[in-house]
Amino acid sequence: MEREIERKFLVKDTSFISLSRQSLCIQQAYLSKDPARTVRVRISNDQGWITIKGKSDSSGLSRLEWEKEIPLEEAKELLLLCLPGTILKTRYMVPYEASEVVVDVFEEPKKMILAEVELPSLDAPFTPPNWLGEEVTGNPEYYNSNL
Protein backbone atom coordinates (compact mmCIF):
# COMPACT_ATOMS: atom_id res chain seq x y z
CA MET A 1 0.00 0.00 0.00
CA GLU A 2 1.31 3.43 -0.93
CA ARG A 3 1.65 6.41 1.37
CA GLU A 4 0.24 9.56 -0.20
CA ILE A 5 2.06 12.77 0.71
CA GLU A 6 0.44 15.91 -0.61
CA ARG A 7 -0.06 19.60 0.01
CA LYS A 8 -3.31 21.33 -0.88
CA PHE A 9 -3.91 24.97 -1.86
CA LEU A 10 -6.70 27.32 -2.86
CA VAL A 11 -6.21 28.78 -6.33
CA LYS A 12 -6.14 32.55 -6.96
CA ASP A 13 -6.97 32.63 -10.68
CA THR A 14 -7.37 30.45 -13.76
CA SER A 15 -4.00 31.21 -15.39
CA PHE A 16 -3.06 27.55 -14.74
CA ILE A 17 -5.39 26.41 -17.55
CA SER A 18 -3.06 27.67 -20.29
CA LEU A 19 -0.18 25.84 -18.57
CA SER A 20 -1.96 22.49 -18.27
CA ARG A 21 -0.95 19.48 -20.33
CA GLN A 22 -4.19 17.55 -19.88
CA SER A 23 -7.68 17.84 -18.43
CA LEU A 24 -10.10 15.15 -17.29
CA CYS A 25 -13.80 15.15 -16.42
CA ILE A 26 -14.36 13.38 -13.11
CA GLN A 27 -17.45 12.11 -11.33
CA GLN A 28 -16.96 10.65 -7.88
CA ALA A 29 -18.91 9.62 -4.82
CA TYR A 30 -18.24 7.81 -1.56
CA LEU A 31 -19.23 4.37 -0.29
CA SER A 32 -17.80 5.31 3.13
CA LYS A 33 -16.86 8.64 4.70
CA ASP A 34 -15.65 7.13 7.97
CA PRO A 35 -12.85 9.47 9.18
CA ALA A 36 -10.57 6.45 9.71
CA ARG A 37 -11.03 5.32 6.09
CA THR A 38 -12.87 6.67 3.09
CA VAL A 39 -13.92 4.53 0.15
CA ARG A 40 -14.35 6.43 -3.11
CA VAL A 41 -15.67 5.41 -6.53
CA ARG A 42 -14.56 7.54 -9.46
CA ILE A 43 -15.21 7.71 -13.17
CA SER A 44 -12.56 9.64 -15.04
CA ASN A 45 -13.22 9.90 -18.77
CA ASP A 46 -13.91 6.23 -19.63
CA GLN A 47 -12.12 4.60 -16.70
CA GLY A 48 -13.47 3.43 -13.36
CA TRP A 49 -11.53 3.49 -10.09
CA ILE A 50 -12.05 2.49 -6.48
CA THR A 51 -9.87 4.09 -3.83
CA ILE A 52 -9.49 3.54 -0.09
CA LYS A 53 -7.75 6.28 1.88
CA GLY A 54 -6.72 5.98 5.50
CA LYS A 55 -6.82 8.68 8.14
CA SER A 56 -4.42 11.59 7.62
CA ASP A 57 -1.52 12.07 10.00
CA SER A 58 -1.68 15.01 12.42
CA SER A 59 -0.18 17.42 9.86
CA GLY A 60 -2.68 16.42 7.18
CA LEU A 61 0.22 15.78 4.78
CA SER A 62 0.29 11.99 4.69
CA ARG A 63 -2.03 8.99 4.67
CA LEU A 64 -2.21 5.48 3.31
CA GLU A 65 -3.90 5.08 -0.05
CA TRP A 66 -4.93 2.04 -2.10
CA GLU A 67 -6.33 2.52 -5.59
CA LYS A 68 -7.39 0.07 -8.27
CA GLU A 69 -8.79 0.49 -11.75
CA ILE A 70 -12.12 -1.29 -12.17
CA PRO A 71 -14.32 -1.83 -15.24
CA LEU A 72 -16.35 1.25 -16.19
CA GLU A 73 -19.67 -0.61 -15.89
CA GLU A 74 -18.81 -1.73 -12.35
CA ALA A 75 -17.91 1.84 -11.38
CA LYS A 76 -21.28 3.03 -12.72
CA GLU A 77 -23.07 0.34 -10.69
CA LEU A 78 -21.11 1.20 -7.54
CA LEU A 79 -22.02 4.89 -7.91
CA LEU A 80 -25.64 3.82 -7.41
CA LEU A 81 -24.70 2.43 -3.97
CA CYS A 82 -22.77 5.52 -2.86
CA LEU A 83 -23.79 7.98 -0.21
CA PRO A 84 -25.63 11.10 -1.42
CA GLY A 85 -23.42 13.89 -2.72
CA THR A 86 -21.80 13.28 -6.10
CA ILE A 87 -18.77 15.42 -6.92
CA LEU A 88 -18.34 16.70 -10.47
CA LYS A 89 -15.06 18.38 -11.37
CA THR A 90 -12.59 19.02 -14.14
CA ARG A 91 -9.01 18.10 -13.30
CA TYR A 92 -6.08 19.92 -14.90
CA MET A 93 -2.57 18.46 -14.86
CA VAL A 94 -0.08 21.34 -14.68
CA PRO A 95 3.67 20.65 -14.97
CA TYR A 96 5.62 22.72 -12.46
CA GLU A 97 9.32 22.50 -11.60
CA ALA A 98 10.17 18.82 -11.00
CA SER A 99 6.60 17.88 -10.14
CA GLU A 100 3.04 18.32 -11.31
CA VAL A 101 0.27 20.37 -9.74
CA VAL A 102 -3.19 18.84 -10.02
CA VAL A 103 -5.92 21.48 -10.11
CA ASP A 104 -9.56 20.53 -9.58
CA VAL A 105 -12.28 22.90 -10.72
CA PHE A 106 -15.39 21.77 -8.84
CA GLU A 107 -18.85 22.22 -10.33
CA GLU A 108 -20.81 20.19 -7.76
CA PRO A 109 -21.56 20.19 -4.92
CA LYS A 110 -20.15 23.74 -4.81
CA LYS A 111 -18.02 25.84 -7.12
CA MET A 112 -14.43 25.96 -5.94
CA ILE A 113 -10.89 25.54 -7.27
CA LEU A 114 -8.34 23.48 -5.29
CA ALA A 115 -4.82 22.40 -6.17
CA GLU A 116 -2.75 19.50 -4.86
CA VAL A 117 0.86 18.56 -5.28
CA GLU A 118 2.10 15.09 -4.37
CA LEU A 119 5.54 15.05 -2.81
CA PRO A 120 8.13 12.26 -2.57
CA SER A 121 8.71 12.82 1.16
CA LEU A 122 7.36 14.81 4.10
CA ASP A 123 10.32 17.18 4.01
CA ALA A 124 10.44 17.67 0.22
CA PRO A 125 10.70 21.35 -0.67
CA PHE A 126 7.95 22.97 -2.73
CA THR A 127 7.71 26.63 -3.67
CA PRO A 128 4.16 27.31 -4.88
CA PRO A 129 3.64 29.06 -8.22
CA ASN A 130 2.17 32.57 -8.02
CA TRP A 131 -1.32 31.40 -9.07
CA LEU A 132 -1.68 29.34 -5.90
CA GLY A 133 -3.21 30.96 -2.85
CA GLU A 134 -3.66 29.97 0.78
CA GLU A 135 -2.40 26.54 1.79
CA VAL A 136 -5.22 24.40 3.21
CA THR A 137 -3.30 21.15 3.80
CA GLY A 138 -4.84 19.28 6.72
CA ASN A 139 -7.99 21.43 6.81
CA PRO A 140 -10.88 18.91 6.76
CA GLU A 141 -13.16 21.54 5.21
CA TYR A 142 -11.29 20.97 1.92
CA TYR A 143 -11.25 17.15 1.91
CA ASN A 144 -13.26 15.91 -1.07
CA SER A 145 -15.12 13.52 1.25
CA ASN A 146 -16.40 16.53 3.26
CA LEU A 147 -17.66 18.58 0.30
Q: Is 30 a catalytic residue?
A: yes
Residues 88/26, Cβ–Cβ less than 8 Å: yes
Instruction: Map 28-77 to HEC letters.
Output: EEEEECCCCEEEEEEEECCEEEEEEEECCCCCCCEEEEEEEEECHHHHHH
30, 92, 96, 143: the active-site residue? 30
| Residues that are catalytic | 30
